[in-house]
Homo-oligomer: A and B are copies of this chain.
């Protein structure tokens, strides 16, 4: 069993940390909002005043926050992990951030003798609670093997994709595929509806063939039933596609489909639907052509 620091106790981080506790690991936790630490402390974790303090006790420091600047602050800020982490320990960033930043953070940590993995996840709050997250990791194989028991307490389908940053690249790819599929399903179901055909029957007809996907199954159903409770919030999908667009620009890579997905997410957030599941994308398709909800 390992001594683990866990920084970031939001919708995702809290159930992930609880699953580590349940698996028998010792946890030192820190959340920006102190009240997020209470349920973890009740479950046996030690609440800490800063990331540095949590990292002081740990062989592995896990970070699960929102975006690139948050990760930078948690690791390198005034009371950040670097001020507590021992040489030989590892930082595992499970947030979704830019692949370039992930590589830069790893290089900087390595100078102080601290290893890093990027290990973003897919599967949402439900996957975090059920410990069924997909985990896409980047970093050195020996570090990955050391951390694997912790990953196994939080997810399944755990893949070391490549070196530092490769996990974030895989996550970016994941969000591109999900957004494109969502968009295809939303446009198809709207085409059915506008044609006077029952969208639920169309979904059923499509499920068995090459159009079949988890998105058609789960999000197609949400679109038909108008159930847009998250799931995965569209403002987070917008944030992730922004990472994709930034990476594409840095790489000199045209991704016309992902660029369109970005616009759909912008429209969704701009319409006040940022807190809803990104399946609400169907509302943009409908609204554009004057269909009532």
A: which residues have CB within 8 A of B? 99, 122-124, 134, 136, 156-157, 159-162, 165-166, 169-170, 172-174, 176-181, 183-185, 187-192, 194-198, 201-202, 204-216, 218, 232, 244, 247-248, 251-258, 260, 263, 285, 288-290
Q: Which residues of B contact A258 (CB under 8 A)?
A: 184, 187, 191
A196–B253 CA distance with the chains assembled, in angstroms: 13
A257–B262 CA distance with the chains assembled, in angstroms: 12
A206 near B288 with CB under 8 A, answer: no
A188 near B173 with CB under 8 A, answer: yes
B214 near A202 with CB under 8 A, answer: no
> In the complex, how many angstroms separate the beta carbon of A265 from the nearest chain B beta carbon?
13
> In the complex, how many angstroms separate the beta carbon of A82 from the nearest chain B beta carbon?
26
B191 near A169 with CB under 8 A, answer: yes
A213–B208 CA distance with the chains assembled, in angstroms: 11
Residue with the greatest number of chain B CB neighbours at <10 A, chosen from A178, A189, A190, A213: A213
